[in-house]
Structure 1
Amino acid sequence: MKRAELWPDHVLPAHHVPPPWPGRHVRLDGTLVHVRDTPATAPGAEPALYVHGLGGSAQNWTDLAGLLAGRLDGQAIDLPGFGRSEPGRRYTVPAFADRVVSWIEHSDRGPVHLFGNSLGGAVAVRVAALRPDLVRTLTLISPALPFLDFRRSLQGRMLPLLAIPRGERLAAWRLAQLAPEVMAQQVMESCVADLTRISEQRRQEAIDEIRIRYEAAHYAAAYVRTFRGLVGSFLRSYLPGAGALWRQAAAVRVPTLVVGGRQDRLVDVRVAPQAARVIPDSRLLLLDGVGHVAQLEVPRTVARAVLALLAEAAPAATPAPNGTKAQARAMVTGTEESGTGRDVAV
């Protein structure tokens, strides 16, 4: 493990808040999967795939995918039952990983630069461990790798729901009691450390996403069953077996960037450093004053770390800008997410 470097901010596109990238439905394994495309803005861009977290969607990657479009030809997938994808038969980390593998093979774009946030991070680790031929680099943002002290997560209050038969019915009832605006605010407060970093446009888009959940009869069941599957994978990781997530993390051999927010309220803040220690070829970026979705809260900082990863993974093809190394070392003690006026310690 080593500290992540940051490329200079000026190599990124100018500040801009793009709308969600265009989406399309593709039939895959008998169901419709929804994918958003972020077209490359420069020749020679390499394929990338973005995987969201529990309760999220492909829309969570809008800003980061846009910032990286000069280097990456991006696609962001809605996992089964989330966003605009149809529900699936199983909601487990292995089932989601199988879907990601199927998509990479179906799209014939592999190997890809694979990104995962939260649940998507756990899924991405499994894909990288079991199918290294499909992955060029791995970027994990607050990956939901196993931890057992659920007092360190707001999700811990959901555990009693798993013991209730047909707990998804209770979840659906609870969902119906809250206005979309209230639900969106609660979600953002859970995921984001500093809400002033989230633009009004992004807030409205979050409300629109919540409305889609209200219209999807399967959403509550997908959410509860996915949470149950994630908790199950946590417990199994402390038992013997090659399928344990921490053992799979140790098997990852591609260059990896691990990003964690020190104010993460959903995943134990000790998980990101542990992931970086376990994954052999890893770089760690810890961000002070940042929560669970760094790609939404400080996308430019994350993009700069990704560019450094890409350059290191293919140094001959991507020379570093003048002054990059010196600036990267300076940024180890602190950086500023341009446009926010707020310091982010690394």
Structure 2
Amino acid sequence: MTDARLSESPLPRLARLLPPWSGEMVPVTGGEVFVRSTPWRGPADDAPRERALYVHGLGGASTNWTDLAALLAVRFEGHALDLPGFGRSGPPRRYSIERHAQAVIDVLEWVTARPGPGQGQPVHLVGNSLGGLVSVWVATRRPDLVATLTLISAAMPVYRVPDALDRAITLVLLPGVPSLAERRLSGISPEERVRGLVQTCFGDPSRVPPERLEQVVEEMRERDEQPWAGQALTRSLRGLITSYLRFGRANAWRMARSVRMPALVVTGDRDRLVDPAVAGRLAEVLPDARLQVQPGIGHLAMMEAPEPTARAVLALAEDVADRARAVGQDSPTAQA
């Protein structure tokens, strides 16, 4: 494990409030998922042009990646999916880590098959929280699809849960309680839920512009119109926690030890949902990893601190490309 390097590549200056990127429905096993795409906007025609896939966390959506994808567009054609049951994606038959992982694999295959520069090349996979855990599964099952792996506050198995989730996890594992929780969630206004999420997920809630909060509230209202919205949250949480009880090859920590592509582990030292110490352990377990600890940042570094997060991701891609060139290999990060 080494400390993360920050790229010095010029980055675009973000507008105060970027609108969500447009998207389309993409077929996956058992249904469809919605995928937003961020076009490549490299500084020059001969600049590296690669592909990335972003995977959100529990209760999140593809819009969580709006700012980070805009910054990384200097190198990546970006794609962000709504996991089954979240955002604009329909619900799966069963909520589980395996089902989410299969959806990500299906979208990765779709991304690699798209015509243009980077076609057929492995993709840079970036996951947050639940999406980070799912990305570990994907990286071990289909390493041929993954160029680098970035894990932001990945929800790796722990056996002492944080206070912010302790009661919720206990309840959601009880028979019949998920349905009760779904009904209770439906009685809480979008404004109240967004305020609670911001207080829990951000190291400094004052960093969130009021316009961004209004955007998230509108997105929450849109989700509430879907009959499966509460189900997706509670049942995915249940699937997440039950996955922690697996041993042998199905254990995520054992999977992480078998990851072979270069990795970046990102955490905020004010993360209330995933203990920052988990990130340190994960960076040590992954065979080829670097660690970025962001001071004052919470659970959503890609939203709260998009620029330092982008610079760490870019540095990983740059260093992998340099390494490949040094040994005379063709690499997705060496493609222009």
TM-score (norm 1): 0.87
Instruction: Tell me the secondary structure at the aligned position of residue 24 of structure 2.
Output: strand
Instruction: Report the equivalent of 2:12.
Output: 13
Partner of 2:50: 46
Instruction: Tell me the alpha carbon deviations over residues 59-82 of structure 1, each in whole angstroms, 9 at most, x when there is no partner.
Output: 000000000001000000000000
1:122-155 residue CA offsets vs partner (Å, 9 max, x unmatched) = 01111111211000001100000011111x2412
The one-letter amino acid paired with 2:107 is W
2:84 corresponding residue in structure 1: 80
Which deviations, in whole Å up to 9, do the C-alpha atoms of 1:189-233 show, x marking residues without a partner?
111011122122221121012112321111212211111111111
1:212 equivalent in alignment to 2:222: yes
3-state SS of 2:250 partner: coil
**Number of residue pairs aligned between Structure 1 and Structure 2:** 314
**Distance in 1 separating the partners of 2:300 and 2:22:** 21
1:140 pairs with 2:151: yes
1:304, distance to aligned residue in structure 2 (A): 0.8
The question of whether the paired residues in 2 share the 8 Å contact of 1:153 and 1:267 is answered with: no
Residue 161, structure 1, aligned to residue 168, structure 2: no
* CA-CA distance at 1:267 after TM superposition: 1.1
State the distance in 2 between where 1:13 and 1:259 align: 22
2:7 counterpart of 1:3: no
The answer on whether the counterparts of 1:167 and 1:224 sit within 8 Å (CA) in structure 2 is no
Residue ranges of structure 2 left out of the alignment (5+ in a row): 114-118, 327-336
| Match of residue 287 from structure 1 | 294
Check 1:153–1:63 CA distance in 2 against 1; reply closer, same or farther (3 A cut): farther
Counterpart in 1 of 2:282? 275
Aligned CA-pair RMSD? 1.8
**Partners of 2:182 and 2:234 within 8 A in 1:** no
Aligned ranges 1:1-346 → 2 under 5 Å: 1-8=1-8, 11-16=10-15, 17-42=17-42, 43=45, 44-107=48-111, 108=113, 110-150=121-161, 152-236=162-246, 239=247, 241-315=248-322
Asked if 1 retains the 8 angstrom alpha-carbon contact of 2:172 and 2:181, the reply is no
Q: Please give the TM-score of this superposition, normalised by the length of structure 2.
A: 0.89
Distance 1:26 1:318, change over 3 A: same
Q: Distance in 1 between matches of 2:263 and 2:322?
A: 15
Any gaps of 5 or more consecutive residues in structure 1? 320-346
Take 1:141 and 1:30, find their aligned partners in 2: how far apart are those partners? 28
Q: Give yes or no for contact 1:97–1:126 (8 Å, CA) kept in 2.
A: yes
Report SS of the residue matched to 1:286.
strand
Q: Counterpart amino acid of 2:13?
A: A
Q: Between the two proteins, what is the percent identity of the paired residues?
A: 46
